[in-house]
């Protein structure tokens, strides 16, 4: 197990390095940020001087070396637009994104799994039709479109939720979510909900016909016990992998949803950083997002072992 984790960590590190490499060179293709940093009235000499000061006139490979050197010690440089350390800006926005991602995942879990179970256990029933419809809709509706519709219906027409922004409720210095998170979280979690419904359903359908389930029935166990102890537990392995991977994506910030709802998270920051060619900030966010995804994937693999004792790693 330890050896497995160690080798996965080395792999993860290589992935992160790859991400840094790609992001760095892709950003260079977008042009030079200096032209956005000076006023349009600046003279060519002023522009050149700034380019020199910022180090953008050095060979790319040296700039990349510098960047990697900094990144290894957690220094992603200063945001060009905010003139503050890029990582600091990310950490400031992190609580909002964590709140949104966690709520989105909770919504997906609370809707997706029960609906999938109901549907898988009663194929052809009303619940099955509903669940299959929901799964399809969840995976096909573009979430930014849904977000706008939700705003029009639930904020403008019904007035149930705020249109934009994040409001928190402070209790003993802790920031607790309020209803402002519901619409963005629902829009964001929709895809994952759809995925969970479909995966749970097919897993349940498959496992229901396994020998051990039939045995359990013949032992006279009750439905509840069979579903919880046998079916759900066995279905949880593919679900864990979906939840782990999806949570990684949710946590790395959603550009569309956060921008539409003006949610002060990392996705919103990234949208702004890309628009302003804020290289340092884009690189830092890309690194942060891949770190989250890679870490969650690793944790997911480890969690398999806990859910299914038969899975052993490299022993």
Partner 1 sequence: MERIGRILLMIFLSMALAAPAIAAEPEGTLRVATTTMPNAIDLPMGAERNAHNVAWQMYNSLVWINDEGTVVPALADSWIISEDGSEITFKLKKGIKFHNGEPFDADSVVYTWERGKQDKMQWKEKFAIAENVEKIDDYTVKIDTGKPNPLLFRVMAEYWAMIPPEYHKKVGENEFLNNPVGTGPFKFKEWRKGDRIVFEANPDYWEEGLPKVKNLIFRPIPESTTRMAAIQTNEVDIVTRLSSEEAENLMNVQGVKVTNYPVDRVYYIAFNNLTSGKGKPTEDPKVRQAMNYAVDVKAIIDALFEGYGREATGYVTPGNLGYDEQIKPFGYDLEKAEKLLAEAGYPDGFKIGFACPSGAYTNFEQVCEAIQGFLSGVGIETDLQLMESGKYWDLEGKKQLPPLFGDSWSEATGEALPRLKGALGGMDASFSAWSDPKIKEFLDKIGQTIDDAERAELYVELQRYMQENPPFIYLYEPVTFEAMSPKVKDYRPRPAENYYLKYTSVEK
Catalog residues that contact partner 1 under the rule CB under 8 A.
Answer: 30-33, 35-44, 46-47, 49-50, 53, 81-84, 89, 92-93, 96, 148, 151-152, 155-156, 159, 162-166, 259-262, 264-265, 268-269, 271-272, 276-277
In eight-state DSSP terms, residue 85 is: B
Residue 124 or 159: the one with the smaller Cβ distance to partner 1 is 159
Alpha-carbon separation of residue 82 from 23, 27, 256, 278, 287 (angstroms): 20, 18, 22, 9, 19
Please choose, from the candidates 275, 247, 276, 272, the residue with its C-alpha nearest in 3D space to the C-alpha of residue 262.
272
Of 183, 190, 182, 164, which is closest to residue 260 (Cα–Cα)? 164
Structure-block tokens of residue 284: 């830092």
R_g of the chain computed on alpha carbons: 24
**In the complex, what is the shortest distance from the CB of residue 252 to partner 1, in angstroms, rounded to a whole number?**
16
Find the shortest distance in angstroms from Cβ 64 to partner 1: 20
Nearest distance from C-beta of residue 135 to partner 1, angstroms? 28
In this complex, which beta carbon is closest to partner 1, that of residue 139 or of residue 163? 163
CA atoms of 202 and 207, how far apart (whole Å): 9
The nearer residue to partner 1, 199 or 261, going by C-beta atoms, is: 261
CB of 35 to partner 1, least distance (A): 4
Query: Shortest distance, CB of residue 175 to partner 1, whole angstroms?
Result: 11
- Pick the closest to residue 266 from 122, 87, 138 (CA basis): 87
Indicate the residue among 65 and 275 with the shorter CB distance to partner 1: 275
Quickly tell me which residue has 């919504």 as its tokens.
107
Q: How many residues does the chain have?
A: 315
With respect to partner 1, which residue has the nearer C-beta, 244 or 265?
265
Q: How far is the CB of 155 from partner 1 (least distance, A)?
A: 5
Q: CB of 152: closest distance to partner 1 in angstroms?
A: 7
Nearer to partner 1, 131 or 286 (CB): 286
Which of 42, 182 has the CB closer to partner 1?
42
Kindly report each contact of residues 266-273 with a partner whose C-beta sits within 8 Å and lies 24 or more positions away, as own/partner.
266/90, 266/93, 266/94, 266/96, 266/97, 267/97, 268/93, 269/89, 269/90, 269/93, 272/81, 273/79, 273/81
């Amino acid at each position: 197990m330890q050896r497995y984790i160690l080798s996965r960590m080395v792999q993860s590190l290589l992935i992160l390095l790859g991400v840094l490499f790609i992001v760095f060179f892709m950003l260079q293709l977008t042009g030079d940020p200096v032209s956005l940093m000076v006023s349009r009235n600046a003279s060519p000499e002023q522009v050149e001087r700034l380019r020199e000061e910022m180090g953008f006139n050095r060979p790319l490979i040296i700039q990349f070396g510098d960047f990697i050197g900094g990144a290894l010690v957690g220094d992603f440089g200063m945001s060009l637009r905010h003139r503050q350390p890029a990582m600091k800006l990310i950490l400031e926005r992190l609580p909002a994104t964590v709140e949104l991602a966690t709520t989105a995942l909770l919504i997906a879990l609370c809707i997706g799994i029960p609906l999938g179970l109901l549907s898988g256990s009663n194929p052809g029933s009303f619940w099955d039709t509903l669940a299959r419809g929901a799964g399809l809709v969840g995976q096909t509706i573009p979430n930014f479109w849904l977000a706008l519709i939700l705003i029009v219906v639930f904020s403008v027409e019904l007035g149930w939720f705020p249109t934009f922004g994040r409001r928190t409720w402070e209790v003993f210095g802790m920031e607790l979510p309020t209803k402002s998170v519901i619409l963005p979280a629902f829009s964001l979690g929709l895809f994952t909900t759809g995925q969970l419904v479909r995966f749970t359903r097919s897993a349940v359908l498959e496992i229901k016909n396994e020998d051990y389930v039939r045995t359990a029935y013949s032992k006279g166990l009750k439905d509840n016990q069979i579903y919880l102890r046998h079916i759900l537990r066995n279905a949880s392995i593919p679900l864990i992998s979906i939840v782990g991977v999806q949570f990684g994506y949710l946590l790395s910030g959603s550009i569309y949803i956060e921008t539409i709802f003006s949610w002060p998270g990392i996705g919103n920051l990234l949208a702004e950083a890309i628009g302003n060619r804020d290289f340092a900030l884009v690189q830092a966010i890309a690194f942060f997002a891949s770190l989250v995804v890679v870490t969650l994937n690793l944790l997911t693999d480890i969690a398999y072992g806990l859910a299914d004792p038969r899975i052993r790693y490299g022993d």
